[in-house]
Amino acid sequence: DAKTTQPPSMDCAEGRAANLPCNHSTISGNEYVYWYRQIHSQGPQYIIHGLKNNETNEMASLIITEDRKSSTLILPHATLRDTAVYYCIVRVSGNTGKLIFGQGTTLQVKP
């Protein structure tokens, strides 16, 4: 199973872009990269996912390196409500359902 490595914590100024890195050097060719976040006391919330190409939605952008060994989640204009734990997950190979969470990155957005 591909594993992910994220920094335990990061700070970001309100209104600035937050760039959250993730390493997944053992990722397989058919495994997706997912990002979820968990705001205090709530269930995890889906943000975005991708396979090879960069992806963008109303919440964030996902940049995946060409070798797929790392990715970056970008919150273009962070707000105080974006303070949360962000999880980078690689979908388990050969299984369409399983999501395994690591320790994630605690993002603190400061005024």
Partner 1 sequence: DAGVIQSPRHEVTEMGQEVTLRCKPISGHDYLFWYRQTMMRGLELLIYFNNNVPIDDSGMPEDRFSAKMPNASFSTLKIQPSEPRDSAVYFCASSPGDFGAEAFFGQGTRLTVV
Which stretches of the chain bind partner 1, using CB under 8 A? 32, 34, 38, 42-46, 49, 51, 87, 91, 95-104
Nearest residue (CB) to partner 1, 81 versus 111: 81
Phi-psi region of 15 (alpha: psi -120 to 50; beta: other; left: phi over 0): left
Nearest residue (CB) to partner 1, 35 versus 70: 35
**Min CB(75)–partner 1 separation in Å:** 18
Nearest residue (CB) to partner 1, 78 versus 104: 104
Strands, E assignment, the chain: 9-13, 18-23, 33-38, 45-50, 55-56, 61-64, 70-75, 84-90, 105-110
